[in-house]
Amino acid sequence: MDAALIAATFIIAGFVKGVIGLGLPTIAMGLLGSLMPPSQAAALLVIPSIVTNLWQMAGGPGLGPLLRRLWPMLAGIVAGSWLGAGLLTGANTGAAMAGLGLALLAYAAVGLLPWKLPRVPPRREGWAGALVGAATGLVTAATGVFVIPAVPFLGALGLSRDELVQALGLSFTVSTLALALSLGAEGVFSAQLAWGSAAAVLPALAGMGLGNALRRRVSAEVFRRWFFLGLLALGAQLLARGLG
């Protein structure tokens, strides 16, 4: 795999994250998943995802209260990833590619549709979070994408903007660590891919810096719309290739 192409992928993915606050793993998986087995693409995104999401998580108003509130969802993510271990690394790469395409299509549809999930009542956050976390963990283990259904659920908790950004960083960090453990247990996260993943950190951070600069000059909502339209096309292409 061409190192320049991997670097360009993470610059683009970091740029998107810099503008709208999320999307680095999704973009990286979508682009790299069309060029290599999805399990290898997932291994490459591990370290850039951890670094950028720790940065995002550390900049919020208060990590302790969020951990106490979201721990059932986070535990569910770990459990779901463990239950789904091996789905992404199996011999049927076509099925993994089709699953990745479906995950991108679902995420794009959620982002483009005008409706939002109703507010989750506080008394239901615990068990609902555990179920959402388990589903997110299974999707992560099968596709390397960890935004569905975690992102819509977090958006329905009534968090402030800063709390939501920090909660996303927390959720994505746990999902990435769970994915790394799953890939490591299956022997996919090799030393060579680990070095490649580490080398992708700088392009990802450079892209984030560019995206942060652009965020002040363009409408984030317009950019989000084009982002989700692009994911829609990418997801459809991966689905067709996986089923073909």
Radius of gyration, alpha carbons of the chain: 17
Contact of 104 with 162, CB cutoff 8 Å: no
Q: What pLDDT score does 240 carry?
A: 84
- At CA 83, angle to CA 77 and CA 85, rounded to 5? 100
pLDDT in tens, 40-99: 888 899 999 999 888 878 766 778 889 999 999 999 999 999 988 877 776 566 777 788
> By residue range, what is the domain housing residue 151?
3-243
C-alpha 187/C-alpha 19 separation (Å) is 34
pLDDT tens figures, 210-229: 988 887 777 767 777 877 88
Q: Which is higher by pLDDT, 25 or 44? A: 44
Kindly report, residue by residue over 103-116, the tens digit of the pLDDT. Answer: 888 888 888 887 77
Round to whole Å and give the CA distance between 190 and 148.
27
Q: 158 or 74: which carries more pLDDT confidence?
A: 74
Instruction: Note the pTM of the prediction, 2 decimals.
Output: 0.83
- Rounded CA-CA distance 69/79 in Å is 18
- Split into its structural domains, the chain has a count of 1
Residue 126 has pLDDT above 80, yes or no: yes
